[in-house]
Chain A
Amino acid sequence: MGLLNDAGVWLAGKLEAVAGVTVTYTRFADGATIAPDIWVGRSGVGADPGQLRYHQWGHRDYVLTASTLTVSGSVVEPGIGDRIAETINGVAHIFEVQSDEAGDHWRWSDPARTMYRLHVKRVS
């Protein structure tokens, strides 16, 4: 079990090197900006057919090493309203940490609890 756990932590450390993207992370709570090790975990579209409306919206997950989300030396949890600026194909986008349909805005992404998985939606 210890060996598998160690392997999971090692693998998580390698993900940033092979799949990482460059972003600026701005905390809603205090405006602090961070440049964490981060990569895109998932991107997709959801839909909600209502009585008169048919809405689609995008959703995206970012995965980051928890220890890189630090403010004044302390590791912090992601908060609703935190924003991530990423340039995709030369176009600047801003994504915001928001609740998903299950009500979570983040969850642990690995059994060892070394990585955050953030649920975001594009806001501009």
Chain B
Amino acid sequence: MATLPTRELCADLATYLVEQVPTAGVAPNSVTREYYVRTSDKDDAALVQISGRRVTIAPTLPNSYSYEPETRGKDRYTHRISVLVEKRYTDAGDPTRAWLDTEVDWVYTNIVLMFDFDKRDGNGPTFNRQLVTLFADVQLFDLTDLLAHGKLFSSQVDIVFQELVDV
């Protein structure tokens, strides 16, 4: 049975991120490939379980990937991948501007720029030199999560990658 390329790419990106930013994978921080994230329990504080910065890489729903013939010998694959970055503000009171500055900058530096692959500059990732980043769409954070759901910083980056693969 063939392996879904978009699923492989999620795993490769998770490994790549930990290689490039080792602290991202050191507990309590985490970087994982998943299909979804579920945080729940019967306690009255499920979100308290989130400690450190949690990065989840998954195929974007509902349109995860597509492909089309490029030439007789190659197909063009388009991968749509979402990166969810979550971190809880643990000090008393509303999250401060300085804390949010740190978190939005972390996402920009370590997700948006880190996953900006461009073949022309030789900036392709070592795991796949054919991979090119087409587009990234960033939700800075979810305001309801931040102020009404346990002060959870929750930022989702939707990235579209493309590559030519031999058929």
Contacts and interface: CB of A to CB of B under 8 A. Distances in A.
Contact of B39 (A43, A56, A83, A93): A56
Interface of B: 34, 36-48, 56, 58, 60-61, 82, 84, 90, 92-94, 142, 144-145, 147-152, 154, 156
A56 B41 contact: yes
A74 interface: no
SS of A interface (majority): strand
Given A98-B148, A101-B148, A57 B61 contact: no
Given A52-B58, A101-B148, A122 B36 contact: no
Contact of A98 (B36, B39, B151): B151
Interface string A82-111: 110000000001001011110100000000
A98 B38 CA distance: 23
A3 interface: no
Given A81-B93, A96-B92, A100-B148, A55 B44 contact: no
